[in-house]
Structure 1
């Protein structure tokens, strides 16, 4: 059963571990996916090559902090496909440090990448969704946005902001039949954290009731649920995917 048959979706940060899993899962369920990337061109090209064999994917190199570029992406999408059904705001970065040592540059970079990109793309994506009287927005938060974490004040602030944005947009656009939900992943095993010492990984897992780290596919499956009609009566919610950690 294909849960997204014929849907047009945009997935930001599509070349990363979580993003590429979402792209592949959406394609497997019949969606046509436009995914964005900024720095991982080799990964983006590889993913595009794998999925272009099915003619179900396009990739765009774009700085989502640039509001004019995001507007153009939406305009091109609508010009070509006449509609936009799903937006997944997945792009994000981490620049950790204790507050006393954190530079203004790294504070700004995390906030602008994680928050501004979501604002920019959502602002223009909702225009065709309102005209269609239907749409689905999924924003990627984090368990850290709910619990906070030492050395991650910038990241935690951005991810908590995503939750507030999600709940507000859900109320703002619910009458237009546009749903907006967030996913808050816990400790997910990706290439970003594979360099961590085994002692730190073990400490993480010891605090997880399911006794394992999550995988990018766990997040992709959750995204599929929220993107599909299986969740048609869910909006303004935060789906915690963390193995019981929070």
Structure 2
């Protein structure tokens, strides 16, 4: 009898499982601390020019992402199709999520993976997911027709605000910050880097129920490289380029 009940419960869970594609507009914002503004004076001594630079940073182009998930993983993929509010140069500003263009999130391993290229060779880059100790605030709102609750938390020096759906029992998030008791539908986080406050907002725009559970496949044959290792590889490559250029100058 217990086995039959377990099978029925599993079958009921599978039937009720809902998998969505959620389209996001990711909006980066920055704010200069007094210390950052003071430091800017050496680069922009003219007050008018400095004010123009600060004003320009108030309109950073947004980035479109498409988020999907299954029973154990999720994926966020940049939508390269630009809308009228986006400009091709937006991504070159270097402000936005640092998860890459098409990460696959593995919550069991608490890692995310990105296929990338380094000097013409494909590699699999990975980094840690950040589990946040969220606390409910008691606030609620409806997002894309789904009831959500607000939760706040902190991971190291990053403040995180999440709106999650208790009716969708997944700990997932479209970014690397996760840990709520339900799927995160809206996400905001901020941190200070080089005396500049950076805020990233994942704003959901549309959802579409998927007819079947998505499957994510990683190329297991590729060499796996951690994100810190990749940074070191780039640093070493740049060092060799500079040394080669300097040797060329010395020969002259």
User: What's the TM-score, normalizing by structure 1?
Assistant: 0.26
Query: Which one has the bigger strand percentage?
Result: 2
Q: Which has the larger radius of gyration?
A: 2
User: What's the TM-score, normalizing by structure 2?
Assistant: 0.25
Query: Which one has the bigger helix percentage?
Result: 1
